[in-house]
A and B are shown apart, each in its own frame.
Chain A
Amino acid sequence: MSQVGSTGRRGEAPALAAVGVSKRFGVVRALDDVTLAVRSGEILALVGENGAGKSTLVRIFEGVYRPDQGTLMAEGVQRTLRSPADAHALGIRVIHQEPDIVPDLTIAENLFLGDFRRLHGLFLDRTDLARRTQGLLAEFGLENDLSPWMRAGDLKPAQRQLMEIMRALRRGLKVLALDEPTSSLTEDEAQRLFRVARRLRDDGVGVIYISHRMREVRDLADRVAVLRDGRVVDERPTIGFPEAEIVQAMVGRPIADLYERSARNLGPIALSVTGLTTARVHDVSFDVRSGEVVGLAGLMGAGRSELAEAIFGHDRALAGSVAVDGHPVRLRSPADAIAAGIGFAPEDRKSQALLLLRSVKDNISLAVPDLISRFDFISDGAERRIAGGLVDRLRIRTPSLEAPVANLSGGNQQKVVLGRWLARRPKVLILDEPTRGVDVGAKAEIYRLIAELAAEGIALLVISSEMPELLGLADRILVMAGGRVVHEMPRGEASEERILSLAMADNLTETSAAAE
């Protein structure tokens, strides 16, 4: 299949190329003399750690930024892009993680906004709109899931991305860039997106694919380009580019096995959940031992985050109970759960965990007011000691304790969230997607930290959509579907295929049961 990309359409100019492009932001050199081309009919993966310059390059392709030096060539013609509209006119489209849609308009209206046909020159031709929308939905295999008149705001992130691609297709699409499209998608949603990407490739579109996930890159891309510190450090056909070498090129050094682990000493039961039921979680029971890492697998919408929020007292429990070290926990608010020794690092750290404009120090000490104050007055010394100690221990790379967390990289932000809970010395720690949007180097550090915390006797419940991560970290895996725990398996019996089939099988029976 890589034949199409590497040798097809020989002699034609690349669909889009950056030639000697540099871009600085103040003192930071985001791109340094980058020359990179995507050909028509190939999928080019762009990989690199956070801050390597991928997003900057994509924004230059999209006309958001203009290069300080160097030029863009579209189909062999030098172009200056002053705005995204210029890029769109040339058939260059970027699909972001969370595409812009008008939530209160219908799918059809969103798709054809600006291109409505009229009846008698005045009225909106709804029949025509529905027909054209149905056509597009059918092309993407969505005609059974979606109807043209559904409200766009009700779509899932994956469906929004597909909608954005459909919108791009309306006008001659030449280059499509997908910026970390799968970070909020489930496995099968991602697979559907890949099918679309492959089909576009076969139709002659140049596809640029940005991702942190090595397996996707290797599955999908014809060619891989690695960016590091604003330069293209390696660029090869995927076939001759083993994963280890890609990772090594990204970080600039070889990386040992990501999931180091030693035998764990399991203690007594630390977290015990019995018959927990909320609006979206049904009769869930399980235990986590002290020193144990339990993984929570499932498709998106299976109720994993909802279960975590219920245990943490954020979501109201309708029935059931939670106990820590055998003592029942009142579940009226997160404050109750925290008092009982539970910590929770939620899925979306920017909107749920961090005060982005506040300092590293303030963010760490947010959950330990009792440790940093006397009669409500903050002791600067105590606060610095606690926050500084955690910054050292977690190796949080920050200019100072006073730096706003917004300026930190994803991995360091996540470590700040972990630091907040470690300051409390929790008995139970719930981590929801702890490595989302985190680069490879920081991932390895977070994995090592999880192992350390388990060794210290903390009970960990880890939710992740990355199967290799769950399989690597967890001693035991619970599979959720439809708000229930449908299966539990020890580490030795778990495999990606098995988890996936369990997660999906139940999904099917649920929907067919609902249909009856």
Chain B
Amino acid sequence: MTDLKVESVADAVDRRLRRSGLGGLIERVGTHNFSLLIALAVLVAIFGFLRPDVFFLLRNILNIGQAIAMLGILATAQTIVIISGGLDISVGAVVGMSTVCIALAVGWTGSPLLAILFGVAVGAIAGIVNGLIITVGRINAVIATLGTMAVFRGVAFIISNGQSISIFDPAFRFIGDGRILGVPVTILTLVIVVAIFFVLMRYTVTGRNIYAIGGNPLVARLAGLNVRAYQIGIYTLSGATAGLAGMLLAARTGSGQPISGSEGLELEAITAAVLGGCALTGGKGTIIGGLLGVLIIGVLDNGLILTSVPTFFQMVAKGVLLIAAVIIAEQQARRYG
């Protein structure tokens, strides 16, 4: 009876849209991403209506972009982890560890480039550790990365002696506030990383196989994939990306702080990925969806500040958003699953 599909109103609307001019667009963007675009448009309309004087200024738009750059690369990397059927809760702690390592390395070497490579390498090593614990140790990803989150945070405090380490190198600070052809470097970084992830997941065998592993690891193994190697690679990628996010944060704040990245960064990244259509059971989700999720969070944050909503209420709004996203995702899964 699996071949019988209940046609709901939504399906009918979907079909009608597909036949009309909008059809090709929806087909290409995907149903879930299309609803995200509508949600984003609604948010933009609301805040644009409430603060027409500020919201649409180029300055404000670039502000949003800079504010979400770090979250953007974390969330899209998290999207890949979740598609593979895993979860990486340690990314916030890795960001903190990376800022400290980069700040120290800038001091030692005087070379921003070497310092950045060092930060990314530290992140990658943290990711390998996660991957090995999960695959070789056969530990649930949530538990494993919850444990390593505490470890990495501890390491960040140990190597920094619990102190904030300032970075004075102007070349490094350029990453935080500089622009190339009028576009902030942070936003450029985001665009490049997201573009790479997008191509990886959409056009390569590797990406296809990551979907397969998340969809059903046993099926993937019996079709000849080396599931463990993929998983270790994915956590390494997630760690290295967190290291890169650490670079952005250190450049923005001009310092390496062990405490940084610990204010719920991993939860925001997971929120954005789920909002973007990832199923926590794996096998489902898109990079564009993850990016749209981040954009929605960014516009919401920005709009709530512009409309002077008190900070505490902003937190409530975000929590509600996450739950709403999961409910919508669940309903879609039931409709199509």
Contacts and interface: CB of A to CB of B under 8 A. Distances in A.
Interface of A: 25-28, 30, 50-51, 55-56, 312, 314, 333-335, 338-339, 344, 346, 351-358, 362, 366-367, 369, 372-373, 376-378, 406-409, 420
B3 A335 contact: no
Given A353-B219, A406-B2, 20 more contacts: A25-B4, A25-B6, A26-B6, A27-B7, A30-B1, A50-B3, A51-B3, A51-B4, A56-B4, A312-B222, A346-B222, A351-B219, A354-B216, A357-B215, A362-B208, A369-B205, A377-B203, A378-B205, A407-B3, A408-B3
Given A26-B6, A56-B1, A373 B224 contact: no
A75 B16 CA distance: 47
Contacts of A355: 211-212, 215-216, 219, 283
Nearest to B2: A406
Contacts of A367: 223-224
B225 interface: yes
B7 to A, nearest CB: 3
Contact of A354 (B1, B4, B206, B219): B219
Interface size on B, as a range, is 20 to 34
Nearest to A335: B224
B204 interface: yes
A376 B206 contact: yes
B216 A51 contact: no
Given A56-B1, A369-B209, A376-B206, A353 B222 contact: yes
B284 interface: yes
A378 B204 CA distance: 5
Nearest to B209: A369
Contacts, number: 98
A481 to B, nearest CB: 26
B203 A352 contact: no
B13 to A, nearest CB: 14
Interface in B1-46: 1-7, 11
24 contacts: A25-B5, A26-B11, A27-B7, A30-B4, A50-B3, A51-B4, A312-B222, A314-B222, A334-B221, A334-B222, A339-B224, A344-B222, A346-B222, A352-B222, A355-B215, A355-B216, A355-B219, A362-B212, A372-B205, A378-B204, A407-B2, A407-B3, A409-B3, A420-B223
Interface majority SS (helix, strand, loop, mixed), chain A:
mixed
A334 B219 contact: no
B234 to A, nearest CB: 15
B205 A335 contact: no
A355 B213 CA distance: 9
B204 A373 contact: yes
A373 B205 CA distance: 7
A407 B5 contact: yes
B111 interface: no
Contacts of B283: 355, 357-358
Contacts of A334: 221-224
A30 B2 CA distance: 12
Interface string B265-294: 000000000000000000110000000000
Closest 6 CB pairs of A and B: A26-B7, A338-B224, A355-B215, A369-B205, A335-B224, A25-B4
